[in-house]
Chain A
Amino acid sequence: MMRLQDILSPFYVWKRAFEKPFSIAVLSAPRPGSPTYRGFHQNDIDKCIGCGTCAEICQNVSIDMVPVKEAQDGDSGLRPRIDYGRCCWCALCVDICPTGSLTMSNAYTWVEEGLDRDVRETYCYTPGADPQPWDDEALGYRKPEGYELLHLERVPMPHLAPGERLNSFVEMVKGYSHELAVQEADRCIQCGICTATCPAHMNIPAYIKAIREDKIAEGLKILYETNPLPGVCGRICTRRCEDVCALSHRGEAISIRWLKRYLTDCASAEDYKALLESEIKPLDRKIAIIGAGPGGLSAAYYLAGMGYAVEIFEQNAAAGGMLRYGIPEYRLPYTKLDQDVAQIAALGVKFNYNACIGRDLSFDDLYNRFDAVFVSVGMFEPYRIGIPGDDNAKVISGLQLLSDVTNGVPVDLGRRVVVVGGGNVAMDAARTAKRLGCEVTVLYRRREVDMPADVEEIEEAREESVNFIFQAIPLEIKTADDGSLSFDWGKAEMVQQKPGERPQPILIEGSRENIAADTIIAAIGQGVNYLWMDGEASAKIELKKFRVQADRWGRTADTKIFIGGDMFNPTADAITAIADGHRSARAIDKMLNPPREN
């Protein structure tokens, strides 16, 4: 049934003829994309660290990492190059970028003529490195505030409460449970930036992956490939890897050290045993190692693994060196150290204790009896404060205190203790004294930010109510009438002497203050004891500024003598010593070049 209205109704459209047209004037000037438009990429090339997470998450394989800068610690030198023949503008790369350097502009027009050329090359560029018209575009997609694909916050590590830990030397860090460890390992983006920074170049992404997948035995094996003291390093490593962690740029680094500790803690005896199962062909070569510190133990482990007959000569009654005698038990329980040492001993390494070269044995003898000698005697000679009165019997060194506690020697520090120094030994000494029931004050020449000790250690020392006095220069130690000590110090100001260098503390004229103490602990650094360089064999070795000269493989002027550890490397920490040991082991192997089958 057709109605007249149905015929007339469409003419309604005519009224539109008088309305403003929809058409926009796009023909002359295209509209800009909206302020959050996902257009072509921009990259802040200085902020970018080349971690490759963008390439990892790109499902279209449109991002290649290409070298743009020189590689350095914490920066691979690679930068993302994006192929716009693949990109789908999903912005997952922007969302996940750990540094936040990658963004998108709101530019969207890119046309190319196509005949007789491979446009795949023209539609590729490295944002930030190859100039593009939209490089300075302020608008465009940025990761929305609060929207995060990464987990920037670290899984907190359970600690003993400060009150609890003051009473004993029980290890204060409790360690991750399985859940926490997996949760922490899950944060890792597996970029591998940390591997280069680790002195031992441990394969950190691989063992974190093993934790995530709960493959403990495999993880332990990965650890032992580059580090024979993982249980120790999992506790006291200086963890420079965490400083460069890609996540540390906008959040907190992965707790790489605690994860390593988790691996060693939950590995079973079988897992450890399984590591020893590979058959070692014994070689007819003997190596002597002086010093059973981390460097010596590491060299021993790898040399023994290659088949050498290894003997270690250690001046103390137990292995570990500074790990045992310089680090208090609440940070590194001796049982853990013993476990790692036992694993090395299980390879057939022979330990000679209480054998000090230069005192009990002569270096020449070793030199003649063995095919090569690796020296890592460490730094056990504490420096003196160098002020009047520092020869007082109540002025002891931090190292002295720590090794006495280790050896179970009873120590009487009195009530008030002043610790001089700002390094880790100073912190250890202060906190050990605290555990012995003393009131402890730490005096340091510079500001808190300048302290070489770990931030966490300082923080924990504070929690244990250790007092700090900064910018304090020791002046004199006097003995008071009641037998206690009176320690004079002066206030210092920080002066920038040369641009670019760190400021020096300069004593403010006439400033002089006083603090009373029963014991003063000097922890201002240690030096090397050169007692072992007594005979003819070591004559070739050069010393410069009290340091033995060697190349990065620990090779000295004498082809049979290799050195490593604190006495050699400038950073003087356990992981570097372990790396030295490993490197020297390979250098010794190369030097001796023993005949091997196949």
Chain B
Amino acid sequence: MSDIEQKDKPATQPEWVKDERTLTNSALPSEEQDWFCDARPRRVEKHWQVLENFMNWARAHSLWILAFGTGCGAIEMRPLVTARYDISRLGMQMRPTPRQASVFVIGGYVSLKTLKRIVRSYEQMQGPKFVVAVCSCAINGGMYWDSYNTIKRIDEYIPVDVYVTGCMPRPEAVLAGFNLLKKLIREGKAEGQNLYADKFDWYKANQKQVIKDWNMPDYNW
């Protein structure tokens, strides 16, 4: 991945506060200062290995999906969570709020307007959190490769742990993606959250490059 050049900024500001469009606590009236989190995301350090293995095992068996149908991929999530494919057998279910969810399924193409909501939702999810990108549109633009309003690669904006290609991918293919995710989690390789923390500036710069009316805190925790 190519790194975006870092802009020069006054040393007094945190380096990831990119421009004046960003909302910061200090800019708000005092009674509203606890609205936003001013901190940047932090790496989550590993526990003691045995404990970590146990935690990973537990995480892998309790994946709660954020019920946010971002694109046409959402249509195959419904059979997946209902009787026919019934992924509750795998300890997975849909949750209506990011606070309760640990898996974000990006369903295909992402328009600019949705990208903003995706970033907010992703940042509001509590760690450990994982992203599964389904459909070819999330990989390289898919059939909207020349559309002015959809981004072409979701991994430039949020870290993606697992990809599933297809248009639409069948529920079984999505399921295979979840199985791979579980495997990665058990092996301790699903480190998207830490990647986001490490390369936060890069992700932010990419996000701000396409979201022209950035009017929220840089990190919506």
Contact B1 A116 (CB under 8 A): yes
- Shortest C-beta distance, B108 to chain A (Å), equals 11
B163 x A123 contact (CB < 8 A):
yes
Residue on A nearest B172 in the bound complex, by CB: A30
For B143, the chain A residues whose CB sits under 8 A away are 59-60, 86, 88
In the complex, which residues of chain B have a beta carbon less than 8 angstroms from the beta carbon of A112?
A: 162-163, 165
Write the nearest CB–CB distance from B23 to chain A, whole angstroms: 30
- Counting residue pairs across A and B whose Cβ atoms lie within 8 Å, the total is 116
Which residue in chain B gives the minimum CB-CB distance to A24?
B84
Q: Label chain A's interface by main secondary structure.
A: loop
Shortest beta-carbon distance from B74 to chain A in Å? 17
What is the number of residues of chain B that contact chain A, defined by CB distance less than 8 Å? 42
B189 in the interface, Cβ–Cβ < 8 Å? yes
Closest partner residue, chain B, to A84 (CB atom): B165
Residues of A within 8 A of B112 (CB): none
Asked if residues B177 and A123 are in contact (CB atoms below 8 Å), the reply is: no
Is B98 on the interface with A (CB-CB < 8 A)? no
Which listed residue, B90, B161, B167, B170, touches A114 by the CB 8 Å rule?
B161
Q: Which residues of B contact A409 (CB under 8 A)?
A: none
Whole-angstrom CA separation of A31 from B159 in the bound complex: 30
Residue B217 at the A interface, CB < 8 A?
no
CA–CA, A115 to B133, complex, Å? 12
Q: Is the CB of A85 within 8 A of B84?
A: no
Scan A76-116; emit 1 where CB is below 8 A from any B CB, else 0.
00000001111111000000000000000000111111111
CB distance A86 to B162 under 8 Å?
no
| Contact (A113, B167) CB under 8 Å given A23-B85, A30-B175 | no
Chain A nearest CB from B20 CB (Å) reads 32
A539-577 contacts to B (CB < 8 Å): none
Query: In the complex, how many angstroms separate the beta carbon of B206 from the nearest chain A beta carbon?
Result: 14
Is B120 part of the binding interface, using a Cβ–Cβ cutoff of 8 Å? no
CB atoms of B165 and A115 under 8 A apart:
no
User: B167 is contacted by which of A21, A33, A89, A109 (Cβ under 8 Å)?
Assistant: A89
Q: Which residues of A contact B170 (CB under 8 A)?
A: 33, 108-109
Report chain B residues within 8 Å CB of A26. 85, 171-172, 175
B153 engages A120 (CB within 8 Å): yes
Q: Tell me which of B153, B164, B167 contacts A111 (CB under 8 A).
A: B164
From known contacts A22-B83, A111-B162, infer whether A123 and B139 are also in contact, taking CB-CB under 8 Å.
yes
B172 near A85 with CB under 8 A, answer: no
- Distance, CA A108 to CA B184, complexed state (A): 21
Residues of A within 8 A of B155 (CB): 114, 119
Chain B residues whose C-beta falls within 8 Å of the C-beta of A85 in the assembled complex: 136, 139-142, 165
Report if B60 contacts A (CB, 8 A).
no
Could you say which residues of chain A place their CB within 8 Å of the CB of B142? 60, 85-88
The residues of A that contact B180 with a CB separation of less than 8 Å are 111, 113
Q: Does A61 make an interface contact (CB < 8 A)?
A: yes
The answer to whether A109 and B173 touch (CB under 8 A), given A85-B136, A85-B141, A123-B140, is: yes
Q: Please pick, from B131, B145, B166, B190, the residue contacting A61 in the complex, using a CB distance under 8 A.
A: B145
Return the chain B residue nearest A116 by Cβ.
B195
Give 1 or 0 for each of A8-42: 1 = CB within 8 Å of chain B CB. 00000000000001111011001101000000000
CA distance A120 to B140 in the complex (A): 6
A86, chain B: closest CB distance, angstroms: 5
Q: Is the CB of A27 within 8 A of B195?
A: no
Contacts of B89 in A (CB 8 A): 23, 27
**Chain B nearest Cβ from A90, distance in angstroms:** 9
> Which B residues touch A31, using CB under 8 A?
172
Distance between Cα atoms of A60 and B137 in the complex (Å): 10
Residues of B within 8 A of A118 (CB): 1
| Shortest distance between the CB of A430 and any CB in chain B (Å) | 59
Measured between C-beta atoms, what is the minimum distance from B154 to chain A in Å?
9
Among residues 93 to 132 in chain B, which have CB atoms less than 8 Å away from a CB atom of chain A? 131
Residue of B169, B172, B184 touching A113 (CB-CB under 8 A): B184
- Is B139's CB under 8 angstroms from A84's CB? yes
B163 touches A115 (CB 8 A): no
A88, B173: Cβ atoms closer than 8 Å: no
Q: Are B162 and A27 in contact (CB under 8 A)?
A: no
Of all chain B residues, the one with the shortest Cβ separation from A29 is B172
A307 to chain B, nearest CB (A): 47
Expressed in whole angstroms, the minimum distance between the Cβ of B41 and any Cβ of chain A is: 16
- Counting from the closest, the 8 A-B pairs by CB-CB distance are A85-B140, A85-B139, A114-B160, A30-B172, A22-B83, A84-B165, A23-B86, A111-B177
Q: Could you list some 13 contacts between A and B, CB below 8 A?
A: A30-B175, A59-B143, A85-B142, A87-B165, A89-B166, A108-B166, A108-B169, A109-B172, A111-B176, A114-B155, A114-B160, A115-B190, A115-B192
Q: Which residues of A contact B (CB under 8 A)?
A: 21-24, 26-27, 30-31, 33, 59-61, 83-89, 108-116, 118-120, 123
- Other A-B contacts than A59-B143, A112-B165, 7 sampled, CB-CB below 8 A, are A22-B83, A26-B171, A27-B90, A88-B143, A111-B180, A123-B139, A123-B163
State the B residues within 8 Å of A (CB).
Answer: 1, 83-86, 89-90, 131, 133, 136, 139-143, 145, 153, 155, 159-167, 169-173, 175-177, 180, 184, 189-192, 195
